[in-house]
Structure 1
């Protein structure tokens, strides 16, 4: 058994009962060694079904020959190979675009309870740390590549992250393996290649253990980030009480528990919460949070982020994205009020109880609406919404049911959503 086999099996211990292992197989040194090691280990150990996935980016002519090379090795090892061709979007960073396309392909291949195995090694981890350090990354970024993480419906694992490249190369030569040398890896106009070919040789001559030390620092940062995540979960728990308008089905937090925290803990908690919804701003662009937090109670401030907006309304902050940032389309005729009505871009609305006589239609606020409220007479809708503290961003989306020119009901608002005698109630399930 190779001296790489024992640490590899240990790293893969949590995944021994997975439904399948897929190796991200570029044909390069690291993925070739990983695939060969696993193919050898399955002869003496009970492992999940093993396959390989080669992503063809089509970015250079030389790459057209790589699927055949990968197929030949997989045939020799009796490992099934899937070749996935992807289109790389043009943009400022071809490296990032290629990586995004590659991982989209991996997500599509890796199903629930399956694992994608990649061959990144210790030198890659050191490069990642230095690259992110030069970009001003925080603790999370300086944790570099995680050993494992969720990926789509499955998981991603990097079992060789503690192994130096020189050890992988020694194994490959001892086993007479051949691998692909990507010509683009020598182009030092790519930032990572510049670090690999121009910076790391100098560092290693002065500090021979530089890569090992950097990888160790990345592990320390990853551990520190884990502690920050635990602190964020505690702080968010205190701010996660269900509010009056939980039926909006929007992510929201109570503001007061956040404001009681130090500024650093506020940012830490919000980073943790927002990471599920949007790419996060860098340190220089957190002034938007300060402005939203410190605004007057009646100011209805908004912080615009990459994938949506954070709104402050009442005593809470709310995350809005997608259709919530667009005006709903109306009016919508309701020909069959005995059935729920799908509202374009705005969920569904339906009656509970008896059905009011028609003809009915659903519309949205335009301003100046008046509603008859029995003993209270005719009341301005704006005032009624103010009395109930309806968040400003939700007012233009509340379904209003009309019969001819008469406003019959406003969905989901007690006292406004039902007939005077309570024979029916208008319920809205937002998008």
Structure 2
């Protein structure tokens, strides 16, 4: 016999019972109303984390202005505290997508370390998501539809009703005489999901009554397959995660040789996994740029431009440069107090070890044709010395050079031993970290 809805939910919630707090994303609609009622009932008989509700007010339609008071009334009757968050939805593009982004941004603000945010998506939502993404030509990760759980801020987002049908939720709501909001926009078939819900699924279920549960089950199988591909990607990336030749350069990077040994499909799988936290991933048509980067001659310095940055190749290594990497000023700077580090706008910090040379000192960036005195080697062309060092070209334009008048006194010691002068001081550059490129 199938367990009751409340018993089924209790089993699903078992891994999360030691969380510091539980939050329910409470729109006031059927799904979240049933979920909140279920959790409030459980709290009367079970020892659960503190429970609260969060209502996000988008302000996109006049009817929505009455929803916060309805949600407050429901929460008061259940003795559940409610937070109402008002958000601004950015215009342009998909209204559904912009509203969703604003909503989840609000959710990250309330979800503390280890805390759980519950949302009310159910089996029908999962089936709609799979079909919608299938029609858009999504890859396996997209076809895995909505995960039952995923990280959210410092906590977790959990969907405990994915195995429950909308019909079961309606039956529960009617049995307990619950009141919920009917969003007028849910009837608007101009929205793709509504079109699927009202026009497509009734036809499918008339011919195949188990279409919803079958599609939801397919999403589970695809999610499991994606998990296996993620494990394979981690294995392949482990082989490519070799120490970078410039550890002070805080940029994500991979050795290219181990990736070359893989099939094309495994290369793409590994790179998708590696790039996912860094940028929006390219569609299938743009992977030809990966082949061009991979197969270019060693001295070609190819670049693959992606949505949120660039993938560079320097020799036999791949480097990720976020879009913010190029945001620095190459204007000359006077170094008035060389006893203290010099802040380089958008380019980190420069400092001396040992006794700084006599001034006045100035920091400039490469223009071409620079020559420097190298201890034991005489005057040498800076470009040739940089080539010898193997320093990636995308770094060279940011390399701070120390001048006194028109004399190039020194280059940071990280660029190679040749840059260490003999006067008892060294110049050290700490480039700006690129953590802002990690999402």
TM-score interval (norm. to shorter): over 0.9
**TM-score relative to the length of structure 2:** 0.96
* Correspondence for 1:81: 82
Q: CA deviation at 1:331?
A: 1.1
**Alignment correspondent of 2:421:** 419
Question: Separation in 2 of the partners of 1:428 and 1:374?
Answer: 20
Instruction: Tell me the SS of whatever aligns to 2:417.
Output: coil
Q: How does 1:263-282 map to 2 (within 5 A)?
A: 263-282=264-283
Question: What is the aligned residue count?
Answer: 429
Report the TM-score, using the length of structure 1 for normalisation: 0.98
1:247 aligns with 2:248: yes
Asked whether the equivalents of residues 113 and 154 of structure 2 are also in contact (C-alpha less than 8 Å), the reply is: yes
For the aligned residue pairs, the C-alpha RMSD in angstroms reads: 1.2
Aligned to 1:67: 68
Q: Which moved more, 1:224-233 or 1:348-357?
A: 348-357
Question: 2: CA distance between counterparts of 1:327 and 1:119?
Answer: 45
Rounded Cα–Cα distance in structure 2 between residues aligned with 1:182 and 1:89: 20
CA distance in 1, matches of 2:419, 2:74: 67
Distance 1:91 1:323 in 2: 24
> Are 1:107 and 2:101 an aligned pair?
no
Residue 325 of structure 2 is matched in structure 1 by 324
Measure the CA separation in 2 of the matches of 1:375 and 1:428: 24
> Cα offset for 1:349?
1.5
1:131 corresponds to 2:132: yes
Deviation at 1:358, TM superposition (A): 1.9
Alignment deviations for residues 85-107 of structure 1 (CA, whole Å, 9 cap, x no partner): 11111112101000000000001
CA contact 1:327–1:396 (8 Å) conserved in 2: no
Moved over 4 A (4+): none
Q: How far apart, in 2, do the equivalents of 1:67 and 1:108 lie? A: 19
User: How far apart, in 2, do the equivalents of 1:333 and 1:8 lie?
Assistant: 66
SS at structure 2 position matched to 1:378: strand
Q: What is the DSSP-based 3-state SS (H/G/I as helix, E as strand, rest coil) of the residue aligned with 2:171?
A: helix
Equivalent residue number for residue 437 of structure 2: none
* SS of residue paired to 1:119: coil
Gaps of at least 5 residues in structure 2 are 433-439
Residues 239, 253 of structure 1: 8 Å contact kept: yes
Partner of residue 369, structure 1: 370
For 2:283 and 2:10, locate their aligned partners in 1 and report how far apart those are by CA, in whole Å. Answer: 38
Task: Report the counterpart of residue 17 of structure 2 in structure 1.
Answer: 16
Look up the match of 1:216. Answer: 217
Q: 1:327, CA displacement in angstroms?
A: 4.7
- Shift of residue 7 of structure 1? 1.6
> Does the CA-based 8 Å contact 1:117-1:156 persist in structure 2?
yes
Aligned to 2:43: 42
Residue 304 of structure 1 is matched in structure 2 by 305
Distance in 1 (alpha carbons) for counterparts of 2:427 and 2:209: 72
User: Distance between the aligned counterparts of 1:325 and 1:208, measured in 2?
Assistant: 56
Tell me the alpha carbon deviations over residues 111-170 of structure 1, each in whole angstroms, 9 at most, x when there is no partner.
111111000000000000000100111111111000000011111000111000100110
2:330–2:398 CA contact under 8 A, matched in 1:
no
